[in-house]
Chains A and B, each alone.
Chain A
Amino acid sequence: GAVVSQHPSRVICKSGTSVKIECRSLDFQATTMFWYRQFPKQSLMLMATSNEGSKATYEQGVEKDKFLINHASLTLSTLTVTSAHPEDSSFYICSADRGTDSYEQYFGPGTRLTVT
């Protein structure tokens, strides 16, 4: 149990367009979902924390108008990269937990975004 999926696994978009990445918890309800960004050969950098039904909490330096996060249900969170630029090209990973009594985060497989 505790599987998290992401869609798409890989996406290429043109500069200036927007792209949406979905994160789903398949067999559990995720109170909180997290969005990370990973640069090549670097660590995971937390971008934002999203709770179902409320606004996401963004980490310092992350533009909330650039990276729109919607957590509409207990099983789905979406990250929309708006007006994408080549520097937004990266590996985006989501994770989810079961709630405050659960310490473990369950990670998705990641989405490779390439902006041309």
Chain B
Amino acid sequence: AQRVTQPEKLLSVFKGAPVELKCNYSYSGSPELFWYVQYSRQRLQLLLRHISRESIKGFTADLNKGETSFHLKKPFAQEEDSAMYYCALNPYYGGATNKLIFGTGTLLAVQP
């Protein structure tokens, strides 16, 4: 079954500390993976996509097919990074639909 697992419901770090939000997926094919973010009182928005291999707001994520992981990392957390982060998988990569399967989300709290 297709599944996205985010083991941590809450991750609390101090400003300037490194951050790693974990995401593991279960899928037999070649998935397309994303991180979406939801800041307080705002709507869900795309943070980054594994294909683009970009660094957005200092965040990066590398797809590790061997470990079926797509962890989100940032070397130095900022208070404005506090938000809910969702890992998502599109099992129809390259296909006719952009259906997304979401993980349960991790709330990142960056303390001053």
Question: Is the CB–CB distance between B100 and A105 below 8 Å?
Answer: yes
> Separation in Å of the A112 CB from the closest CB of chain B?
13
Chain A contacts for B9, CB-based, 8 A: 41
Question: Is the CB–CB distance between A43 and B105 below 8 Å?
Answer: yes
Chain A contacts for B43, CB-based, 8 A: 4, 107-110
Q: A34-B99, A103-B98, A105-B100 are in contact. Are A43 and B46 (CB under 8 A)?
A: no
Question: Is the CB–CB distance between B86 and A44 below 8 Å?
Answer: yes
In the bound assembly, the distance between CA atoms of A107 and B105 in angstroms comes to 16
Interface residues on B, range: 20 to 34
**Is B82 interfacial (CB-CB < 8 Å)?**
no
Question: Is the CB–CB distance between A44 and B102 below 8 Å?
Answer: yes
Interface residues on A, range: 20 to 34
Interface residues of B (CB under 8 A from A): 9, 32, 34, 43-46, 49, 51, 86, 90, 96-105
Q: A103-B90, A107-B44 are in contact. Are A97 and B98 (CB under 8 A)?
A: yes
**Is A25 interfacial (CB-CB < 8 Å)?**
no
Interface centre among A32, A49, A93, A103 (most CB of B within 10 A): A103
Chain B contacts for A46, CB-based, 8 A: 99-102
Q: A44-B86, A93-B44 are in contact. Are A49 and B99 (CB under 8 A)?
A: yes
In the bound assembly, the distance between CA atoms of A104 and B104 in angstroms comes to 19
Question: Is the CB–CB distance between A42 and B104 below 8 Å?
Answer: yes
In the bound assembly, the distance between CA atoms of A32 and B49 in angstroms comes to 19
Chain B contacts for A32, CB-based, 8 A: 97-98
A1-24: which have CB < 8 Å to B?
4
> Separation in Å of the A42 CB from the closest CB of chain B?
6
In the bound assembly, the distance between CA atoms of A48 and B43 in angstroms comes to 19
